[in-house]
Amino acid sequence: MSVNLQTPIDYLKGVGPNRADLLRSDLGIQTYQDLLNLFPNRYIDRTRYYKINELQRNNAEVQIIGKITGFREVAQKRGKRLVADFRDDTGMMELVWFRGQKWIRDNLKTGQTYVIFGKANWFSGKFNMPHPEIELQSEHESNLRSAMQAIYPSTEKLSNKGVTNKVVTNIMQQLFLETKGRFVETLPDSVMAELKLISKPEALFNIHFPKTPELLARAQFRLKFEELFYIQLQLIIKNLIHKSKIKGFTFDKVGDYFNTFYKDHLPFELTNAQKRVLKEIRHDLGSNAQMNRLLQGDVGSGKTIVAFMSMLMGLDNGYQCCLIAPTAILSVQHYQGLSDLCKPLGISVSLLQGSTKASERRIIHENLENGNLQILIGTHALLEDKVKFKNLGLAIIDEQHRFGVKQRSKLWHKNTLPPNVLVMTATPIPRTLAMSVYGDLDISVIDELPAGRKPIKTVHRFDNNRLKVFKFMKDEIALGRQIYIVYPLIQENETMDYKDLMDGYESVSREFPMPDYQISIVHGKMKPADKDYEMQRFVKGETQIMVATTVIEVGVNVPNASVMIIESAERFGLSQLHQLRGRVGRGAEQSYCILMTSHKLSQDSKTRLETMVRSSDGFEIAEVDLKLRGPGDLMGTQQSGVLNLRIADIVKDKDILEQSRYYAKNILKIDPSLASPEHSAILHTYKQMSKYRNIWNYIS
């Protein structure tokens, strides 16, 4: 009979109420199970025993066998320290204790053989070791211990309260003694055999008490695979349930709107990637399951035309469509672009924003409910309860990461059936993240740019080259082009940012005086109406230079703008730099992105700038970003929960992640309900998972 792993940690011998409280508050350890899944951060090789005359002055952690030959107390500024002479057959060193001296005096004896372990420091002509781990050689040899010693995560509070690494190792030993290492297998024999995985009990024993480095590596692989396998299994099952249970509106036909547009009004030839994505969307819309698809494509790859053609499929089947954008500026731009495409087809389209006048709103609401309005474009204002559609068949959400799940669910309740959903993003998501965070969505990628687009030339310049940069700007303006200059915006320090922006604006105004040059300025402190006015002046070409904070990151489309200058580029993240660069290069002319920085750069900043100069591939840039920032930062708080991994790392363990998804998919393909006896371990574990939110609470 195996011990119940959901037993509270208080009941484990050697823990007691005080330690239990500390383990709960500092490490989140509530049960035996949680302790078992406290995986070590690193390991120290305890196979080697040093001689005192072999020690080097490098502060390394070492293990030595010898005897204490005497104790003495040494006075210091505050109190005393206890010093012991420790000898082996090659020499002598000192052991030093600053606290706990009474216990040391009472428990350690001279003349007995001890094994000591700790950092060897060189001080006043000899080696010493402060607060060594120390045990009798006889006990050392009989302990449940391995050659590689596990070092566990800890906090300052735990160390101060005496819950040292040795204490954690001891209670971990106790856990294995009480459970006799009987842990339930969670993976089927076929997967175990195919991947040559070690068993669950063997993996858990060797992660905590590895017998050899090779067994440790096999234990880590086994546990990483298992963790990622169950995450993938959950996501894929969620997707399958979604498809089988959640019915959507079926678009049976491709009709006149779509065909007329494709034959007579398509402004350019679609790329192969756009055609492939349209086929995937067409397939979703033709099935009777609700579409839930994420469309990724770099800035300028032509997502909007794909979105519009998807809407035409909706209109051909008698449904209304809507497009939601994260900002007013972007919604206006979508509206202007799509109105031009709708005109020749006689399609009615309206724009709804927070600032829309009440009289216009009434007309929009009325036409939506009676079905006269076919396409509605807008901001969050579309999600308000009073906005009711006659039959909303397709909802398109632009820049998905700015909308939470709550907002998406509001869309669902606009109808008897939920509309088909297409989510678009120009922030390329690395494959590993897409598989982990959006594993329950179907994903389409537009991975080629339209023909005739010239790659943007990106350069890095230091502040002392500014005069040359001004000269280059004048040359470009003389050719009739327009220029963006963007300043960083860091919310915590708006006053400083505002000052940077205004200082920058003044120096640009001195260099580019009126009436020869006109400059627009846009920042977060302006009223929306003033912002729009300045934006429009730039869009119409009335101003040649736009000085702005990052409000222009998303979706401003001015084909005539050919230069993007990013000030203090080292203060931006990679994906933001890439987004900003995508604001130029939208016309036929050669475009440029100039990254301005000071000479003081951190290693990460250098890597970011080098990546930008070298590559224009959003997915490659996203992979570098993921390595630099880690998954939690990249996805923001709303999704980082998925990635609270205990042992796997989705950046470093990308191959294991792909492998785990492949196996999870194959198993569910053959046996969607996990009913076959061979999959009983998976089904049992999956059911346990639903009870406990933390993935590791059921993997045992």
In whole angstroms, give the CA distance from residue 302 to residue 392.
24
Backbone phi and psi for residue 161, each to the nearest 5 degrees, phi listed first:
-90, 10
Can you give the pLDDT at residue 642?
47
CB 662, CB 435: distance < 8 Å: no
The verdict on residue 294 lying in a domain is no
Give Cβ neighbours of residue 112 (< 8 Å, ≥ 6 apart).
Answer: 67, 68, 136
Q: What is the pLDDT of residue 593?
A: 96
User: Do residue 494 and residue 590 come from a single domain?
Assistant: yes
Shared domain for 420 and 562, answered yes or no, is: no
530 and 589 fall within a common domain:
yes
Domain identity same for 513 and 369: no
Give me the torsion for CA of 216, 217, 219, 223, rounded to 10°. Answer: 140
Last residue of a domain, one of 115, 144, 173: 144
Question: Domain for residue 501, yes or no?
Answer: yes
Structure tokens at 539: 């869009």
Asked if residues 462 and 597 have their Cβ atoms less than 8 Å apart, the reply is yes
Flag the least confident range among 215-224, 280-289, 369-378, 648-657. Answer: 648-657
More confident residue, 501 or 8: 8
Are residues 465 and 610 located together in one domain of the fold?
yes
Look at the chain and report how many structural domains it folds into: 3
- 589-645 confidence digits (pLDDT tens): 899 999 999 999 999 899 999 999 998 888 788 888 887 876 655 444 334 344 567
Q: Which domain-ending residue is among 587, 615, 643? A: 615
Q: Is residue 32 part of a domain?
A: no
Of 555, 586, 615, the residue that ends a domain is 615
| Residues in a beta bridge with 134 | 116
* 576 and 499 housed in the same domain: yes
Query: Quick check: bond before 326 cis, omega within 30?
Result: no
Q: Which residues of 217-251 are buried (b: 16+ CB within 10 A; e: fewer)?
A: ebbbbbbbbbbbbbbbbbbbbebbebbeeeebbeb
**What pTM did the predictor assign?**
0.68
Convert the pLDDT of each residue in 427-456 to its tens digit.
777 777 777 767 677 888 888 877 777 889
Residues 391 and 489 in one domain: no
CB atoms within 10 A of CB 203: 20
Helices 618-635 and 603-614 meet at what angle, rounded to 10? 140
The CB density around residue 72, as the number of other CB atoms within 10 Å, is 11
Q: Per-residue pLDDT tens for 309-337?
A: 999 999 999 999 999 988 887 888 899 98
pLDDT at residue 412, as a whole number: 65
CATH number of the domain within which 63 lies: 2.40.50.140
Task: For residue 404, name the pLDDT band (cuts at 50, 70, 90).
Answer: low
Strands (E), 319-416: 320-324, 349-352, 375-378, 392-398
Tell me which residue of 127, 99, 125, 93 sits closest to 114, measured CA to CA.
93
Question: Are residues 401 and 509 both part of a single domain?
Answer: no
Domain assignment present for 632: no
Question: Would residue 693 count as lying in a domain?
Answer: no
The residue that leads in pLDDT, 406 or 376, is 376
φ, ψ for residue 66, nearest 5 deg: -175, -170
* Residue 142 clears pLDDT 80, i.e. is over it: no
Same domain, 393 and 461: no
Report the interhelical angle of 528-539 vs 328-342 (nearest 10°): 50
Mean per-residue pLDDT for 515-542?
Answer: 86
Closest CA to 458 of 558, 605, 580, 324: 580
CA-angle at 521, arms to 518 and 524, nearest 5°: 170
Question: Do residues 526 and 597 both lie within one domain?
Answer: yes
Give the model's confidence band at 497: pLDDT under 50 very low, under 70 low, under 90 confident, else very high.
Answer: low
Tokens 């009335």 identify what position? 542
- How far is it between the farthest Cα atoms of the chain? 100
| Per-residue pLDDT tens digits for 57-84 | 877 789 999 999 999 999 888 889 999 9
Taking a C-beta distance cutoff of 8 angstroms, is the pair 633, 575 a contact? no
pLDDT digit string, tens, across residues 182-236:
888 999 999 999 999 999 999 999 999 998 888 999 999 999 999 999 989 988 8
Q: What are the tens digits of pLDDT across the range 551-602?
A: 664 556 788 899 999 999 998 888 889 888 988 887 778 999 999 999 999 9
Q: Is 514 a member of any domain?
A: yes
Element (H, E) at 531: helix 528-539
CATH number at residue 491: 3.40.50.300
Nearest of 424, 450, 426 to residue 272 by alpha carbon: 450
In a domain, 468, yes or no: yes
Task: Check whether residue 393 and residue 481 sit in a common domain.
Answer: no
Residue among 263, 371, 258, 256 at smallest CA distance from 310: 258
Shared domain for 347 and 480, answered yes or no, is no
Please give the pLDDT value at position 453.
75
658 assigned to some structural domain: no
Report the C-alpha gap between 305 and 557 in whole angstroms.
14
Look up residue 164 and give its DSSP letter. -
| Helix, strand or coil, per DSSP, at residue 353 | coil
Domain extent, residue 125, equals 47-144
Task: Evaluate if residue 302 carries a pLDDT over 90.
Answer: no
